[in-house]
Amino acid sequence: MDTLLLYLVDLFGTAVFAVSGVLLAGRLKMDPFGVIVLGSVTAIGGGTIRDMALGATPVFWIGDTTYLTVIFVTCILTMLVVRRPKRLPWWVLPVSDAIGLAVFVSIGVEKALMFQDSYMVAIIMGVITGCGGGIIRDVLAREIPMVLRSEVYATACILGGMFHTGALAMGYDTTTALAAGVSSTLIIRLGAIRWHLSLPTFAIKSQS
């Protein structure tokens, strides 16, 4: 895939995830510093964990501070745009999160394949890239991370990573494989949001 296009897609995912962090911060009535912190960790948290695990140095946002600029500008603009008394529709936060999730999973897969050849490891790195920032965001917001709920969240990441690597294994070019990964993750996640799909839960019944 063209390096510039991949870079622009990565910046887009960074901005979208920053928006999801800002929206959650706004729902919790945080101050501007808290908003920027939550937006930042959501946007770069997963990628940071991925780069540390892969041994990629420097971590992507340290080597290219454009990511930090995009996050800061996105946070400020989002605060200005949504600072209206009008109540946001319920679906804005989960849908923006789903878009960022889909983009980041495939970015994580591509980044992992630059450092090693295992498709399994690439899928895991894709899941970490997609879910890591959201986990940190939800923990800081004192909420149960989406990935630990019964919702189809991490499962969407895994399936999206499988579509991505499967397309590569079948000989498709990187652009097509990335499009397959992003679209499949997004469709599965949006479907789960729309129809409230969830996985069976594991529960141990206490004996009285």
Indicate whether 103 belongs to any domain.
yes
Indicate whether 143 belongs to any domain.
yes
pLDDT recorded at residue 148 = 83
Query: 6: pLDDT confidence band, cut at 50, 70 and 90?
Result: confident
pLDDT recorded at residue 93 = 77
**Average pLDDT of the segment spanning 87-91:** 78
Indicate whether 112 belongs to any domain.
yes
Number of domains in the chain: 1
Say if CB 104 and CB 17 are below 8 A apart: yes
Number of C-beta neighbours around residue 34 at 10 A: 15
| CA dihedral of residues 164, 111, 123, 195 (deg, nearest 10) | -60
| CA dihedral of residues 142, 147, 153, 156 (deg, nearest 10) | 150
Query: 198: pLDDT confidence band, cut at 50, 70 and 90?
Result: confident
Indicate whether 206 belongs to any domain.
no
For residue 151, the cross-strand partners are 198
Range of the domain at 96: 3-195
Indicate whether 200 belongs to any domain.
no
